[in-house]
Amino acid sequence: MSARPPGAPQGASPRKVTVPDVRARKGGDPLVMVTAYDAPTARIADEAGVDLVLVGDSLGMVVLGMEDTLGVDLDDMVRHAAAVTRVRPSPLVVVDMPYLSYHTGPRDAVLAAGRLVREGGAEAVKLEGGRNRVEVIRALVDAEIPVVGHLGLTPQSLLRMGGYRVQGRALREVERLLADAEALVEAGIFLLVLEGVPARVAALVTERVPVPTIGIGAGAGCDGQVLVIHDLLGLSPGPAPRFVRRYADLHAAAVDAVRRFADDVRARQFPSREESYRLPRETAAALDLGVRKLAREGGGWN
């Protein structure tokens, strides 16, 4: 049973997933996470019964039409996080800290994450990077904000990586990844996202750290999996990366639906009488009289 603190809003789902729930799933049933960016995607994730929702900065590409995540700012994340949390989803809501919201130091990071919590309703924040983020993570945890780490292919490091490249292929990189993962755990993360790393390396990290890992393009050895919801629903047209499995083709279905609407409008088949509003009988009769008078006499209504 969950206890509601005095003054907490009524109506929260009793199934609400919490940070301790997630932490306790290490080595247990796989955790399921999908991204969501607005009320409709949050409702879909909620009704499908996933464990965690990520308001990812992939927002930039899949919703805002940007080339990468570097242009996403804190206001974007706050606005979209608020749209997700307004539907009061049961999954734990993790919100990405956008590029430059934590790179300038712990104080800026706490203020940025504080906005995500206060204005966006974030229940945890996620940030990218390894040992260089330890101070920032400590400050966030000190400010009572749960933190998710993100290692491997970190999209905010696009310029340094020279593209979206699988990380951890060389032994030196594997050693770095393991040391980074341990440092993040030491700093206080409760969950670790591993993106774009060989399956064997992700499984090794998963074995070594006491917190659950969630993989994306990281093989089946993690404690859970995350996909971008637009990818799994087939809402992003064009070829998908190899780690994406498409469970629907909603883009094609949506194009077909809009095309059929356009055909109906052009053929004057939409709207029908049933899809239109009717005048009450007396108003219709008075209107008929008025129209006839107008036709007879010309001029105004009276």
Summarize as ranges the residues that interact with ligand KIV (CB under 6 A).
35, 54, 56-58, 96, 193, 195, 216, 226, 228
32 CB neighbour count, 10 Å cutoff: 17
Closest to ligand KIV by CB, 84 or 280: 84
The C-alpha atoms of residue 77 and residue 281 are separated, in whole angstroms, by 52
Specify the 3-state DSSP secondary structure of 269. coil
**How far from each other are the two terminal CA atoms of the chain, in whole angstroms?**
70
Closest to ligand KIV by CB, 145 or 229: 229
Cβ at position 268, least distance to ligand KIV in Å: 44
Closest to ligand KIV by CB, 74 or 270: 74
The C-alpha atoms of residue 236 and residue 58 are separated, in whole angstroms, by 12
Cβ at position 126, least distance to ligand KIV in Å: 7
The one catalytic residue in 47, 144, 175, 195 is: 195
Closest to ligand KIV by CB, 67 or 297: 67
Any idea of the CA torsion for 288, 294, 300, 302, to the nearest 10 degrees? -60
Closest to ligand KIV by CB, 103 or 293: 103
Is 67 among the catalytic positions? no
**Under 8 Å between Cβ of 151 and 132:** no
The C-alpha atoms of residue 131 and residue 95 are separated, in whole angstroms, by 21
Residue 245: partners with Cβ closer than 8 Å, 6 or more residues away: 227, 232
* CA-angle at 255, arms to 254 and 260, nearest 5°: 95
Residue 133: partners with Cβ closer than 8 Å, 6 or more residues away: 102, 127, 149, 184, 187
Specify the 3-state DSSP secondary structure of 193. strand
**Under 8 Å between Cβ of 81 and 94:** no
Cβ at position 186, least distance to ligand KIV in Å: 22
Cβ at position 118, least distance to ligand KIV in Å: 21
Cβ at position 94, least distance to ligand KIV in Å: 9
Cβ at position 37, least distance to ligand KIV in Å: 9
Closest to ligand KIV by CB, 35 or 101: 35
Which residues participate in catalysis according to the annotation? Answer: 195
